[in-house]
Amino acid sequence: MSDRDSESLLFLTDEQLRRAIEAMFFAYRGFTADPDRILAERGYGRAHHRAIHFINRSPGTTVNNLLAILGVTKQSLNRVLRSLVEDGLVESRVGPRDRRERHLYLTETGAALEAELSDAQRTRMRAAFREAGPTAVSGFREVLEHMMDPDLRRHFAAVREDR
Amino acid sequence: MSDRDSESLLFLTDEQLRRAIEAMFFAYRGFTADPDRILAERGYGRAHHRAIHFINRSPGTTVNNLLAILGVTKQSLNRVLRSLVEDGLVESRVGPRDRRERHLYLTETGAALEAELSDAQRTRMRAAFREAGPTAVSGFREVLEHMMDPDLRRHFAAVREDR
DNA sequence: TTGGAATGTCAACAAGGCTGACTTAATTTG
DNA sequence: CAAATTAAGTCAGCCTTGTTGACATTCCAA
């Protein structure tokens, strides 16, 4: 980034920043709207979605890993996981090396719901990206990364390096 | 947007979209982290923040307006407003023309909390914008606007035209 | 003057956060 | 080997913030 660009950013008024803050608020609502509808049909909430999402992203992840990523207490996560296991969407296997650990996997049913949820979310995301154009998309991702807490960003970056 | 740009977007894999979805999730956490801390000190939550934010944005707004923007029930909003009024952060004035309406204003104390909250949020936003650069910033805003539900976008656009 | 709209309030409920205390099982460490 | 630590789960209780439904009040407008 050049000095000239830096300078121009100084002209971002508080009012413009306030608008960006509101955009974030309204956009997040849009972002969660479709999954929320699907989840509500099945008596689940966003907490279930988050668990399903990250188990799908990292099959075999442990409960502790999930806690760190989600930033909730184990009591809170446990409540959600229990219902997902009872309903046959998630499988909890005793750790092969360390038998205290539970490794989490989506069942076929769980993977089906995950697909439905992320299809809906991807469809909206893809539409927004198409309308905004590729330059906007890379700017979007750039800004989002810089908005994360460093700790959260680590979890985010971790996957990138996995591949 | 050219045909060539459209084409290149077709190469956005599901994996890339999944990463964008996660970025949105983690970034929103960062986005709310600072206000959440300030609010927690005072025994408030995000619901209070949202009310304070939109009353500050549109002083004198009615309860009904606020309901439409926030998308919650009046009972839910009322609980939050009541505590803000009791604590002397918000003033609820009987409507001058239609006395059924209540027009909402921040008191001095309320405005002070609003300033503290939005300063924290703007500081983070400004830092992210500075690191990402101006091109990224306009892309960011472009994509966010397209992610909103059309109804929500109306509320968002409304203010722009006010000025 | 009456119907409808805006507001407020009461009660009850649920999801999903939280804390604290405690158990069980297994691993690690001294 | 014994003790400490760790991973997970569980119970109880609390809070915020969302929901529905029922109902009262106030007041505008046809």
What DSSP element (H or E) covers A104? strand A102-106
Q: pLDDT band at A162, cuts 50/70/90?
A: very low
B95-120 pLDDT, tens per residue?
A: 888 888 899 999 999 999 999 999 99
Q: Is A111 part of any domain?
A: yes
- Pairwise CA distance, residues B15 & B12, whole Å: 8
What is the total count of domains within chain A? 1
User: Which nucleotide lies closest to B94 by the C1' atom and the CA atom?
Assistant: C7
User: Given the structure tokens 């205290």, which residue do they identify?
Assistant: A100
Q: Is B162 part of any domain?
A: no
Q: Is A137 part of any domain?
A: no
Q: Structural domain of residue B37, as residue ranges?
A: 13-132
pLDDT value of residue B163: 39
Q: Is A63 part of any domain?
A: yes
Q: pLDDT band at B156, cuts 50/70/90?
A: confident
Q: Is B152 part of any domain?
A: no
Whether the predicted pLDDT of B141 surpasses 80: yes
B28-61 pLDDT, tens per residue?
A: 999 999 999 999 999 999 999 999 999 999 999 9
Q: Is B112 part of any domain?
A: yes
Mean pLDDT value across chain A: 90
Chain B interface, mutation test: which of A29, A53, A143, most B Cβ atoms within 10 Å? A143
Q: Is B24 part of any domain?
A: yes
User: Which nucleotide lies closest to B51 by the C1' atom and the CA atom?
Assistant: D17
A48-97 pLDDT, tens per residue?
A: 999 999 999 999 999 999 999 999 999 999 999 999 999 999 999 999 99
Q: Is B8 part of any domain?
A: no
Of B85, B86, B57, B87, the closest CA to residue B70 belongs to B57
% of chain B exceeding 70 in pLDDT: 89
C-alpha distance from B119 to closest chain A C-alpha (Å):
9
**CATH number (domain holding residue A42):** 1.10.10.10
